Amino acid sequence: MVTKAFNKEAEMTIPFGVPLDFGYKEIKDMADLMDEDAHSGRVKDPASHVEDPSTLFSVNSVAIRLNNNLLTAAGMRGFETAVARLLDDPARLSWLDLSFNKLDTIPEEIFAFTELTTLYLHGNQISKPREFAKLARFPKLRNITMHGNPIEKVPNYRLRVMCRVPTALKLDFSRITRVDRDTANNYAIEQEQARNKL
């Protein structure tokens, strides 16, 4: 078996570091988050200041894990400020894991991060169908999980999510096929026609 030697210099030039992992810390709100050390990843150096972080070639991370905590929608207040303290370039946040918390809605605070491509919300308490509509506010979302929430029992759950997130490639860790997408498009047309008849 051939193994590649570890190259520390090459490792240091990776443009996006490993996810900041704050999972399993019983975090209830953003104050708790700021009091915790990450299991892995490098938090932004508070002494560093860059006028335009988008010019940075290498940033500490573009991903945050907050899974298996005690976060509620109210506990997410101040998330944007917290991310600004954690990431070299907060606007690049593209991967967020909020799975297995106590969220009953998709927190408004996360919609500031329009670069999100992956959002894990599985294992929460989201139950209202109106939450599907919120997902359309993420123009680049590719991977979404919502299974393990009461909303999963809503009729046509999978079709409704696919209709709201036309950019999604995976839903609940399952690839969205062309047939899935066609079925979702037909479902959307049928729903629109039914609304127009009213």
Residue 9 inside a domain? The answer is no
Task: Tell me the CATH number at 189.
Answer: 3.80.10.10
For the chain, how long is the longest CA-to-CA vector? Answer: 67
Q: Please check whether residue 53 lies inside any domain of the structure.
A: no
Q: Which residue type occupies 79?
A: F
Judge whether 122 lies within some domain: yes
Higher pLDDT, 37 or 59: 37
Q: Euclidean distance between the first and final Cα of the chain, in Å?
A: 67
The answer to whether residue 160 is domain-embedded is yes
Q: Which two tokens stand for residue 188?
A: 């959307």
**What is the domain extent for residue 124?**
16-41+58-197
pLDDT digits (tens, 9 = 90+) for 76-125: 999 999 999 999 889 999 999 999 999 999 999 999 999 999 999 999 99
Q: pLDDT digits over 13-49, tens only?
A: 445 678 999 999 999 999 999 999 999 888 887 666 5
Q: Nearest 5°: phi and psi at 39?
A: -65, -40
- On whether residue 3 sits in a domain, the answer given is no
pTM listed for this prediction: 0.86
Domain count, the chain: 1
